[in-house]
Amino acid sequence: MVALLALDMGGAARDLARNVAAAVAHDAVVLTVRNLSTLGAGEVAEIRRAFEPELRTGGATEVRLTISENLTQFLLVAEIHRGGEREVLLESWPRTASPSRTGPKGAAAEVRLVKRLLWEQAQPILDVAVLDDGILVLDGERVLLAHGADQQSVPIPALHPWPRDMRGRLAVNPPTFTAWLPGTVCRGSVAAPISIDCRESQEPWPLAPGAQAALTPVRNYFEGRVEIAAWGAREVPAFYAAAPAGDAWIFAGVEGRAHIYTRDWEPSGSIEQWGSDVAGVETPCGPRILATRPASLAEPDAIQPYELIDGAAQPAGAALEFAGPITALWSAGNSATAVSRDLETGRYAAFSLAPACGS
Partner 1 sequence: MRPSAWLPLAVLSACAVCGAATRPHYGGTLRVEMRAAPATLDTATPDAAPLASLVFEPLVRLDASGAPHPCLAISWQHDATAKRWQFNLRPGVKFHDGFALVPAAVVASLRSVLAGAVIGAAGDTITIRAERPGPGLLLELAHNGLVFARDAEGALVGTGPFRLASWEPGRRATLAASADYWGGRAFVDAIELQMGRGLREQLVDLEIGKTDIAELGPAELRRAAEHGRAVWSSAPLHLIALVFAPGHAADPRLREALALSIDRAAMHSVLLQKQGEITAALLPQWLSGYAFAFPTAPDPARARGLTAELPASARVLALSYDPAIPAGRAICERVAVNARDAGLTVQVAPQNAKADLNLVEVRLPSLNAVRALVDIGPSIGLEALQPVGPTPEALYESERRLLEDFRAIPLFQLPDLYGAAGRVHVFQPPAITRMGDWRFENIWLSGAAP
Residue 4 sits in the site that holds partner 1 (CB under 8 A): yes
Mask for 142-171, x = binds partner 1 (CB under 8 A): ----------------x-xxxxxxx-----
Number of Cβ within 10 Å of residue 11's Cβ equals: 15
In whole angstroms, give the CA distance from residue 206 to residue 127: 12
Q: How far is the CB of 34 from partner 1 (least distance, A)?
A: 9
Q: How far is the CB of 97 from partner 1 (least distance, A)?
A: 7
Mask for 36-55, x = binds partner 1 (CB under 8 A): xxx-----------------
Cβ distance 353 to 335 under 8 Å? yes
Which residues within the stretch 232-261 sit at the binding site for partner 1 (CB under 8 A)?
A: 238, 240, 254-256
37, 38, 97: which is closest to 68 by C-alpha?
Answer: 37
CB-nearer residue toward partner 1: 165 or 203: 165
In whole angstroms, give the CA distance from residue 78 to residue 213: 65
Q: Which among 85-93, 106-114, 202-210, 304-312 is the span making contact with partner 1, rule CB under 8 A?
A: 85-93
Number of Cβ within 10 Å of residue 277's Cβ equals: 24
| DSSP annotation string for 208-262 | ETTEEEEEPTTSSSEEEEEEETTTEEEEEEEEEEEEEETTEEEEEETTS-EEEE-
Q: Which among 108-116, 169-177, 271-279, 308-316 is the span making contact with partner 1, rule CB under 8 A?
A: 271-279
Which residues within the stretch 300-359 sit at the binding site for partner 1 (CB under 8 A)?
A: none
In whole angstroms, give the CA distance from residue 258 to residue 240: 10
28-35/56-57 β-pairing: parallel
Provide the Cα torsion 293, 297, 338, 210; round to 10°: 70
Q: How far is the CB of 6 from partner 1 (least distance, A)?
A: 10
201, 202, 285, 271: which is closest to 243 by C-alpha?
Answer: 271
Q: Which among 35-43, 50-58, 193-201, 263-271 is the span making contact with partner 1, rule CB under 8 A?
A: 35-43
Q: Which of 10, 48, 66, 319 binds partner 1 (CB under 8 A)?
A: 66
Binding site for partner 1 (CB under 8 A): 1-2, 4-5, 36-38, 66, 68-75, 77, 79, 86, 88, 90-92, 94, 97-98, 158, 160-166, 216, 218-221, 223, 238, 240, 254-256, 275-277, 292, 294-299
